[in-house]
Amino acid sequence: MQPFQPEEVIVEPGSESSPIYRNLKAALPQVPFIVMDEVALEHSHVDFSARDFGSAKKKLLLTRHKGEFLKKCPGSDGQVCCNYFVINFASNCSMDCSYCYLQEYLADNAALKVFSNVDDLLKEAEELLSKHRCFFFRIGTGEITDSLALDPYIGFAREVVPFFAEQPNVLLELKTKSDCVDGLLHLDPRERIVVSWSMNPQEVIDLDEHGTASLDKRIQAAHRCQKAGYRLGFHFDPMIEYPGWERDYERMLDQIFATVNWQRISWLSMGVLRGTPGLKRTMRDRFPRSQLLTGEQVLCPDGKLRYFQPLRVEMYRKMLGWIRRGAPTVKVYLCMESKEVWEQVFGFAPSCAKELGGELANFGF
């Protein structure tokens, strides 16, 4: 995995007192830190627009988050939803996957940002969790950033894991393509933290997951987390179809189940490569040689391109077979798929988001 080495860290006044600032200063002693207010930032040379999405990742902006940290995962129109909440502690990602939806989602706000006011985040979470003790929350931090890729520099996990580990009605999922787990290993997750990996065969990682950890390193990191008491999750998402994909995905699953104890896996998810036509245009500009552009994808009713349904259902069914061979009773769900696809893959579909969310929460234990 490529170490994170920003050209500069731009600090909004008021953020210097935060633990994130202190951690960054200690981890990046050679990087210039520039304190600059919003007005000065707007008139500076710093270009955070999407004109060059890759360049936006080379600078880090440390700023206060002004809105709400906790949001309901938006899901996708007409698709089965898993009733998930997200915490946005950062925005954008230091890695650069060619299929990443952030290229479109953050096109007008591409800056790589970390929010310094973790105390506000924890306060908001405390209010929500204590107000609804009868509801069990699944919350993730990997929606618009990678949960752990920046952790060696910002130390976010050690600021929040102890808090969530104490809560009776939450599972916090830290989702990553990195192997940056050192900051987690000395903390006590108390069955409240799931560390999960987005997984693809090394062949896909080499071609389309730029700057991420290798498959071996992700699996080894998962093994270390499991030994430290964490529950695990794996997301086979996005699954990529190419000649020989079956061999590579089957081998990857065998490798995972040979290394980690599947009985301590909270959930696995599957989802095929998907994106809007707008994202595809961006991919053409940024990664014109990527073979991902050549898949047999069709436009679905929710406005996203996916492999045509019989093809992707066959992919899911094959994956499920290999998963069941290694982990017979682990909870598996589909991400952003219709009820029809659920029926074709599993023979059933959850009746509502509450049902799927409840099941996943139960499987967390």
Partner 1 sequence: MSWDRADRDALCQLAVRLKIGENHLRDLMDWLEEIALRDQSEIHTLLRDKVITEIESDPRFGRADKLKRIKEQVRRVRFPRLAQTEDSIRARIQELKLHPEIKVTVPSGLEGGSLRVEFSASNREQLKNQVAKLAEAADKGSLQEIFALLAGRTTEGVL
Neighbours of 98 (CB within 10 A): 18
The HSE-up count of residue 127 (CA atoms within 13 Å, CB side) is 9
Q: Which is nearer to partner 1, 117 or 344 (CB)?
A: 344
Burial class for 40, CB neighbours closer than 10 Å (0-12, 13-18, 19+): middle
Q: For partner 1, which is the closer residue by CB, 197 or 245?
A: 245
CB of 228 to partner 1, least distance (A): 40
Identity of the residue, 104 or 159, whose beta carbon is nearer to partner 1 in the bound complex? 104
Residues engaged in binding partner 1 (CB under 8 A): 284, 288-289, 291, 293-294, 296, 298-301, 308-315, 317, 338, 340-341, 343-344
CB of 320 to partner 1, least distance (A): 12
Residue 175: helix, strand or coil by DSSP?
Answer: strand
Residue number, 120 or 203, with CB nearest to partner 1: 203
Question: What contacts 284, CB < 8 A, 6 or more positions away?
Answer: 293
Main-chain phi, psi angles of 230, to 5 degrees: -85, 145
CB of 103 to partner 1, least distance (A): 18
Minimum CB separation from partner 1 for residue 313, in Å? 4
> Token digits for 120?
């506000």
The least CB distance from residue 50 to partner 1, in Å, is: 20
**Cβ distance to partner 1 smaller for residue 18 or 344:** 344
Give residue for tokens 């731009």.
10
Are the C-beta atoms of residues 232 and 195 closer than 8 Å to each other?
Answer: yes
Q: Residue for token digits 């200690």?
A: 26
